Copies of this chain bind each other. A is one copy, B any other.
Amino acid sequence: MLWFESDYTVGAHPAVLAALVATNGENLASYGADVYTLRAKEKIRAACGGRGEVYLLAGGTQTNMLTISAMLASHEGVIAAETGHVASHEAGAIEHTGHKVLTLPHSEGKISAAQVDAFVEAFYADPVYAHMVHPGMVYISQPTEYGTLYSLAELEALRAVCDRRGLPLYCDGARLGYALACPENDVSMADLARLCDAFYIGGTKVGALCGEALVFREGAAPRAFLTYTKQEGAMLCKGRLTGVQFDALFTDGLYEKIGSVAIGCAAALRRALREKGYAEHIAAPTNQIFVRMTREKYEQLRPSVAFSFWEPLDAEMCVVRFVTSWATRPEDVEQLCALL
């Protein structure tokens, strides 16, 4: 079976696993006070331009709900694309913390500075706005749920609107490693740290067994955030589990390497698909490839390839998704291409 279903079907990157094995026997402080966690945080701060407050958490939905609920006042909601992960695929985690997701139409997974500005303008123009959920922050993802990227110019425009409107900006980087490795990308990790009030560096989908590194702008972390993570059941007793993994991911450029491998494979696959005449459904440069395919071909590939049916198009055609990761090998791509 060829695996192109997602970037989280294999365990940890071998170097991450090796770090877990190497440190397993050591007696370490618990609840995130161990040396590996401290070291990982320092390395992440360095990658963020030397500033920022870092917290390690176990998963993406957890990180989103904790961050968003800690940054919003009770009467506020979070602005997001209607396709944003928080809007659709987190089982109402944001609402469960008491906050509405204020959705905007998306453009290939993205929302624009102009959209945010217009939404806020219209909100306060409504004479009964005091009876409605106030816009309290902006949520974006890089790459988006559709694999697309915000350019630096787009991000800076969003930041400018957020400044003008008094809204914090938060970026979900569940697959950030795959954005950073794209030739088309012009947004560095330091840019995100500079332009966002908070963002997270995805681990689970980028080589870790579990774990996301949440970075607040220096001085902007909510008070007693550590206690809040405990209160939400998100503080790991053996904090070493995420500490050791992120220490490894930020050693010897591993996080970048993981991204490069996946993006290299995705580029090769994209080329092959284009050559074979498949139309790309969404022009996304990262490790998710959305193409149009006949339903017949889809059924034909299924026994030998693990990949996703995305949505139906018409009686004959559908959209499918292929995903590469650090675990994808060039020969996997070649074998898949031979079957296309």
Contacts and interface: CB of A to CB of B under 8 A. Distances in A.
Given A75-B227, A90-B131, A91-B230, A24 B8 contact: no
Interface string A87-98: 011111101111
A93 B66 CA distance: 13
Nearest to A240: B11
A315 interface: no
> Copies of this chain, how many?
4
A9 B62 CA distance: 24
Interface of A: 1, 3, 5-6, 8-12, 14, 17, 20-21, 23-31, 58-66, 69-70, 73-77, 88-93, 95-101, 128, 130-134, 204-205, 209-210, 222-224, 226-228, 230-238, 240-241, 306, 327
A233 B66 contact: yes
A10 B30 contact: no
A8 B28 CA distance: 8
Contacts of A62: 233-234
Given A210-B238, A230-B90, A230-B131, A98 B96 contact: yes
Given A8-B237, A95-B99, A209-B238, 5 more contacts: A8-B238, A11-B25, A90-B230, A91-B131, A233-B233
B20 A1 contact: no
Complex A-B, nearest 8 residue pairs according to Cβ-Cβ distance, in ascending order = A62-B233, A11-B24, A92-B133, A91-B230, A91-B231, A75-B227, A95-B100, A9-B27
Given A17-B20, A17-B21, A28-B9, A70 B74 contact: yes
A50 to B, nearest CB: 26
B89 A74 contact: no
Contacts of A76: 224
